[in-house]
């Protein structure tokens, strides 16, 4: 039995199966065997009526822009495949970056403070044969996703938004005056939503994204694995970027570490291409567990593992993604939008939120929703 099998079998929720399921997707990406369906069609016949200003597919991060638009008075529906609920693992960001949630009237001051689960200083940047660099107030706040998303969901519903949970996106039909969005719920027949704009927040595995990219393999990928565990000595500092080993498996290993409400979170991440021979996430997890004792100066048997973390972020030169269709806008990981210190996810979404939500409101107000105009909402940015 491998170290990964030993450790993950101790954690509830069967993370080993989750890791292997994610690995199958990663392997399909490397082998270029992932299926691609027709997610978007075009029809020259206008819609008779348009019910919503915007339909957002993907609620976990889509709720951020959805609540912002609804509070601004737009008619918004969110389609979420599961239940809209945050994960247990905290999202790290800087305190001053969270102020946008106050500026956009998404949270009160008291709610913002309650959403902050942990806060620490300072954070380290460390490489071999060089002095450590210590910084303050950078990625030093851990946000509670469960609480944050629940508050945002309440704000969204109070503002008149409609949330369709356990509802899956099936297909979009772009028409001259709007988009028809076909969705399905378990045990119910398909229904159609009509909107002036479809916002795709379904992430990098979105069927719309797959079609727009034509099944192209990513130019690079960030693999990440990690855990949250108790048993570490008290440590109120973190690592933003640390490396202490030479190149292995054709890549450089980088580490992050943060104090967390439930212990200490540590990540191992690396950047590589998507050639078929590149290592699996399970192999990287084995490397993580092999090197963790040296990284944190502790033995594995001293730790009580609470959660396992794993995933990958594909990266394309053509990012942010510019779709060929009118009235369809990918955002967040769907578009490949990134930001300094965040390869995607919550941090990148927050940093683009004010600009993006303001641009969407303006585009809807003047009905300038053709593909060329929407591309201006996603400016060029260099990628790793």
Q: Are residues 204 and 68 in the same domain?
A: yes
Which CATH number fits the domain that encloses residue 14?
3.30.9
User: Residue 135 falls within a domain, yes or no?
Assistant: no
Minimal CA–CA distance to 100: which of 296, 274, 310, 349? 349
Q: What is the pTM of this model?
A: 0.95
Last residue of a domain, one of 295, 315, 335: 315
∠ CA 245-268-230 to the nearest 5 degrees?
115
Residue 344 φ/ψ, nearest 5 degrees: 165, -160
Instruction: For the chain, give the mean pLDDT.
Output: 94
Do 49 and 30 have their domain in common?
no
Cα–Cα distance for residue pair 253/236, rounded to 1 Å:
23
Q: What percent of the chain has pLDDT above 70?
A: 97
Q: Which of 284, 315, 346 is the last residue of a domain?
A: 315
Residue 381 pLDDT greater than 70, yes or no: no
Within 10 angstroms of residue 237's Cβ, the number of other Cβ atoms is 14
Over residues 173-185, mean pLDDT: 97
- Single residue among 315, 334, 360 that ends a domain in this structure: 315
What is the average per-residue pLDDT within 357-373?
Answer: 97
pLDDT grade for 341, boundaries at 50, 70 and 90: low
Q: What is the pLDDT of residues 298-328, one digit of tens each?
A: 999 999 999 999 999 998 888 888 889 999 9
Q: Are residues 98 and 22 in the same domain?
A: no
**pLDDT score for 342:** 65
Give the residue numbers spanning the domain of 114: 40-118+142-216+318-375
| pLDDT score of 384 more than 90 | no
- According to the model, what pLDDT value does residue 339 have? 65
């Amino acid at each position: 039995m491998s170290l990964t099998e030993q450790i993950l079998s101790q954690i509830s929720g069967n993370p080993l199966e989750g890791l292997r399921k994610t690995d199958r997707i990663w392997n399909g990406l490397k082998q270029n065997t992932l299926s691609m369906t027709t997610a978007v069609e075009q029809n020259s016949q206008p819609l008779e009526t348009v019910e919503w200003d915007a339909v957002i597919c993907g609620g976990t991060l889509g709720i951020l822009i959805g609540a912002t638009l609804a509070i601004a008075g737009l008619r918004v529906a969110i389609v979420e495949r599961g239940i809209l609920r945050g994960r247990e693992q905290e999202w790290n960001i800087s305190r001053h970056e969270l102020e946008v949630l106050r500026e956009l009237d998404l949270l009160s001051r008291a709610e913002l403070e309650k959403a902050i689960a942990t806060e620490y200083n300072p954070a380290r940047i460390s490489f071999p044969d060089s002095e450590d660099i210590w910084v303050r107030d950078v990625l030093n706040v851990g946000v509670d996703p469960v609480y944050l998303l629940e508050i945002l969901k309440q704000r969204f519903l109070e503002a008149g938004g409609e949330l369709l949970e356990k509802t899956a996106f099936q297909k979009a039909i772009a028409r001259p005056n709007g988009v028809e969005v076909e969705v399905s719920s378990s045990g119910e027949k398909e229904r159609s939503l009509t909107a002036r704009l479809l916002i795709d927040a379904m992430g990098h595995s979105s069927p719309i994204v797959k079609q727009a990219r034509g099944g192209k393999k990513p130019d690079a990928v960030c693999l990440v694995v990690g855990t949250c565990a108790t048993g570490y000595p008290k440590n109120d500092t973190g690592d933003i970027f640390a490396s202490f080993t030479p190149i292995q498996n054709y890549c450089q290993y980088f580490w992050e570490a943060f104090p967390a409400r439930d212990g200490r979170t540590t990540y191992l991440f690396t950047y590589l291409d998507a050639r078929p021979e590149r290592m699996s996430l399970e192999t990287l997890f084995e490397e993580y567990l092999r090197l963790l004792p040296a990284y944190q100066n502790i033995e594995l048997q001293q730790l009580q593992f609470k959660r396992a973390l794993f995933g990958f972020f594909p990266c394309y030169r053509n990012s942010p993604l510019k779709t060929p269709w009118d009235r369809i806008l990918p955002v967040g990981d769907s578009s490949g939008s990134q930001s300094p210190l965040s390869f995607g996810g919550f941090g990148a979404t927050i940093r683009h939120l004010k600009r993006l939500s303001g641009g969407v409101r303006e585009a809807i107000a003047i009905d300038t929703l053709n593909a060329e105009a929407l591309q201006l909402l996603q400016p060029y940015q260099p990628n790793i």
